[in-house]
Chain A
Amino acid sequence: MGSLFRSEEMTLCQLFLQSEAAYACVSELGELGLVQFRDLNPDVNAFQRKFVNEVRRCDEMERKLRYLEKEIRRDGIPMLEIPGECPEAPQPREMIDLEATFEKLENELREVNQNAEALKRNYLELTELKHILRKTQVFFDEHEGGANTTESMTRALISDDPNRHIGHVQLGLRDKQESLEFLPCFVAGVILRERIPAFERMLWRACRGNVFLRQAEIDTPLEDPSSSDQVYKSVFIIFFQGDQLKTRVKKICEGFRATLYPCPEAPADRREMAMGVMTRIEDLNTVLGQTQDHRHRVLVAAAKNIKNWFVKVRKIKAIYHTLNLFNLDVTQKCLIAECWVPALDLETIQLALRRGTERSGSSVPPILNRMETLEDPPTYNRNNKFTSAFQNLIYAYGVATYREVNPAPYTIITFPFLFAVMFGDLGHGALMAAFGFWMCYKEKPLQAKKIDSEIWNIFFGGRYIILLMGLFSMYTGIIYNDIFSKSLNIFGSSWRTNYNESTLQSNKLLQLNPDSDDYLQTPYPFGIDPVWQLAEANKIIFMNAYKMKISIIIGVFHMLFGVSLSLWNHIYFKRRISIYVEFIPQIMFLTLLFFYMVLLMFIKWTSYGPTPGSFGSNDPEIVKTSAYCAPSILITFINMMLFKHDANTRPVCDDVMYAGQMGLQKFFVIVALMCVPVMLFGKPYFIMKEQKQRARQGHVAVEGAAENGAAAGAAAGAAAPAHAQHDEDITEVFIHQGIHTIEYVLGSVSHTASYLRLWALSLAHAQLAEVAWNMLLRKGLMSTDFQGGIFLYVVFAGWAAISVSILVLMEGLSAFLHTLRLHWVEFQSKFYAGEGYLFQPFSFEVILDSAGQSEE
């Protein structure tokens, strides 16, 4: 069983696989997902590898499948996905079958598509012709009485809306020329509607106004067969005379991509043609329907299997990719692989390999061989769905160095807690917890839905964090006694007003003195007394003092815990020197200065206050323990660091909080300061000493070799560069240690101050919540009659929206980021190196997941 405390122990293994069994074995390992293969031919490019052919075939199959999928999507056929069932990687010989199937399907589909397109083009042409015949009929029929077509046409032109300029100009021309006995001809066609104006202008200019254009819009959109877009077109008919103009008009039509159709002049011919077109359209429709049906049948059949096929092809491809990483031995009989394996899972892997061998029918068992290596193994933490979210928060900063103490288990508690200190509000916490709980409760159905939205995936990935953050916020909300900025008086306040009626009536502000009977001398049992909500004058002052102290106390404990964790690292990596010259001075520095400050806070809290039974007494003994004599912790701490002593301005009070405080404080500061040089020079000194010792031993060895004579020169030559390297190392060690020490010493000051963000954000949150309540919801509560209920209904919706969007979402995000920073910088900098690299096992699950995502 792996633990969360450290990453798994990994071993480098060599794997000998018989060529025939390799495929089946790798497939089994892929199902298992516990092995990370190393590339053994990094200098061979992708095209020179052994199984490049197979990979290419898989790529081809995938391309065909994608084509099929696209077609299926276009027809809106649902693709069946069998949940929980995943086909195994098929045998290599099955690949040929698959290839043949896909080939057949693709060809069939392409053929159907081509036919459909041709048919559609045909259909489009016929429809256009139909429209032309119908529309021109209108043009021609406008003057039914005409003896022949040309004449009726001319009349149509004449009578056609007199407002049209072109008509008039043409008219003049025509009238003159009519006597010359000419034969006007015409062309009819169809053009895209948006091209009409340009087309008209072009015709006018190129033919110098000698043509006449009539057009009518086709109301129904037509389908363009090549792009299958819906386009709007117009029918036009152009009248002109003479061959020259005819060629010109035709050229222009061509240029504008207009399609021209023959249109007989005689009405009878036209009618006949229209009939013919109609019948042909009917025929085409049936053929088109059959084609569609066929296509649909093919696609439905494919849709049943397509997900399955995708999985199979991707698995084959992944296996061949992996096989490409292997080395071929000289005899070509077996493949050699190197892989990182969790030491605890060797048994399972052996079993999987045996299964693979059996499946392939090979007689020679694969050999799994442990190797010794100096390389750093990858970091692998076994996580479940609950811990993985927290582990990812840690990994986002840096992957743990191999076998380093993993902060994730502590983060599970400290992260929601520090968040809640900043987000303390019972109401907002409950909203967040409800959302988190819903996501955890509906986990399985939501997972199956596979929603693509990135924001949703972030929330869903962190559902356990959100749930915990919500619950912890509810707890701190009760401690702060804040629910949407109001307080709950559950146990009964400990404060009473003893003022008489006249005092109450004549004063705007009155004070409740804890050093009197106003305070019952027994605190509110849980959290902050609800009376503070109404103390408008000094609520914030009181809360600030409380929350600042709490922040520093939490911060110092958090940092002390971080430093203590470094002890486990030192012990595990056997850095004995580091324990003495790093860990001990570090923890002493932090304890003597900052933990002492925390102690002072507790001393102040416990030893100053009212004495029951003798309120307001002037007895010097009682005054000394009263709140009047309570010193400021911050001033005390600053004076301690500066070895300064302020003159006592309150003669009735004691100078110090306890006997011997001054001496003890001086001692603490001096010891803490003495820790700094130990941190700074301790480690380099020990390393230097060790090196000298080693050098002396080396010297002896060299001398010994000199006595032997022969190898003397070589040995001395080897020793000299080694020595030079050590000298370099020592300066590096000095610099490194210097940086580290400065960071730690300055850091413990700035980090302690940094924990004040707990107070700052908590204050900001409380104030914002109060503003939201006062500015919005209170407006709904200020009516003196019953329509206030309706008003409240509206105002409540607005207040709820503001509460969720600003107080829960934005404030929550900011508190989350600050918590993250407190963990990454203030906590982890004390012990966490984060210089490892992640264990990325060869696993079908991961490969299929990522393939599925990139596709969408």
Chain B
Amino acid sequence: MACKFCGPKLSLCGLVLSVWGIIQLTLMGVFYYIRAVALLEDLPLESETGHHTIEGFIATVEAGYTQNAYNCWIAALLYVITLVVSGHQFWMNNRSSVSM
């Protein structure tokens, strides 16, 4: 299991970034899921001129909200993996420096 490919600094950076990413992206996912108005500007609404009816527009928005919620959670999940990997690397680095 001695596969050390990150230095102490990079692994620490990965740890901090992934903790931040998990917290923020999970929360953003939740906010998208409950259709927070503040995130309306950050929705994929390509064909803005396309929908002439309110119903069509609302449907697009709803779909965008759900899609972005899932995307946020996917990214959060990827950060969980990053956390595990960099945590393992960090642990390896620490252990090797102690044993030295």
Contacts and interface: CB of A to CB of B under 8 A. Distances in A.
| A and B co-occur in one complex | yes
Interface of A: 431, 486-489, 501, 504-505, 530, 533-534, 777-778, 780-786, 788-790, 792-793, 796-797, 800
Contacts of A793: 21, 74-75, 78-79
A781 B68 contact: yes
10 contacts: A486-B38, A487-B38, A489-B38, A505-B54, A780-B75, A782-B44, A783-B71, A789-B72, A790-B74, A796-B21
B71 to A, nearest CB: 4
B70 A786 contact: yes
Nearest to A796: B21
B67 interface: yes
A788 B64 CA distance: 12
Interface in B39-98: 39-44, 46, 54, 64, 67-68, 70-75, 77-79
Contact of B70 (A530, A533, A789, A800): A789
Given A781-B44, A782-B44, A800-B21, A788 B38 contact: no
Nearest to A502: B54
A796 B67 contact: no
A501 B54 contact: yes
A796 B43 CA distance: 16
Nearest to B28: A781
Interface-central residue, A488, A780, A792, by most chain B CB under 10 Å? A792
A675 B21 CA distance: 59
A442 to B, nearest CB: 13
Nearest to A795: B75
A788 B39 CA distance: 16
A530 B71 contact: no
B25 interface: yes
Majority DSSP secondary structure for residues of B touching A: helix
A764 B7 CA distance: 36
Please list the 8 inter-chain residue pairs (A to B) with the smallest Cβ-Cβ separation, ordered nearest first: A789-B74, A792-B75, A788-B71, A789-B71, A793-B75, A793-B78, A781-B42, A782-B44
- Residue of A489, A530, A788 ringed by the most chain B CB atoms within 10 A: A788
A489 B37 contact: yes
Given A784-B67, A788-B67, A796 B25 contact: yes
Given A489-B38, A800-B17, A785 B75 contact: no
B36 A489 contact: yes
A790 B20 CA distance: 16
For the complex, would chain A's binding face be called helix, strand, loop or mixed by DSSP majority?
helix
A396 to B, nearest CB: 31
Contacts of A534: 37-38, 40-41
A784 B43 CA distance: 9
B95 to A, nearest CB: 17
Given A780-B75, A789-B75, 18 more contacts: A504-B54, A533-B38, A534-B41, A777-B42, A781-B71, A783-B44, A783-B67, A788-B71, A788-B74, A789-B70, A789-B71, A789-B73, A789-B77, A792-B72, A792-B74, A793-B78, A793-B79, A800-B20
Interface string B1-43: 0000000000000000100110011000000000011111111
B17 to A, nearest CB: 6
A786 B71 contact: yes
B46 to A, nearest CB: 7
- Tell which of B44, B54, B68, B75 has the most Cβ of chain A within 10 Å: B75
B72 A784 contact: no
Nearest to A485: B38
Contacts of A796: 21, 24-25, 75, 79
Contact of B67 (A533, A780, A785, A797): A785
A789 B78 contact: yes
A784 B46 contact: yes
B71 A797 contact: no
A817 to B, nearest CB: 26
A784 B67 CA distance: 7
Contacts of A777: 42
A530 B40 CA distance: 13
A486 B39 contact: yes
A534 B24 CA distance: 21
B25 A781 contact: no
Nearest to A792: B75
Most B CB within 10 A of own CB, among A488, A778, A781, A782:
A781
A778 B42 contact: yes
Contacts of B17: 797, 800
A783 B63 CA distance: 12
A530 B36 CA distance: 11
A786 B37 contact: no
Contacts of A785: 67
Given A782-B44, A784-B44, A784-B64, A530 B75 contact: no
A790 B37 contact: no
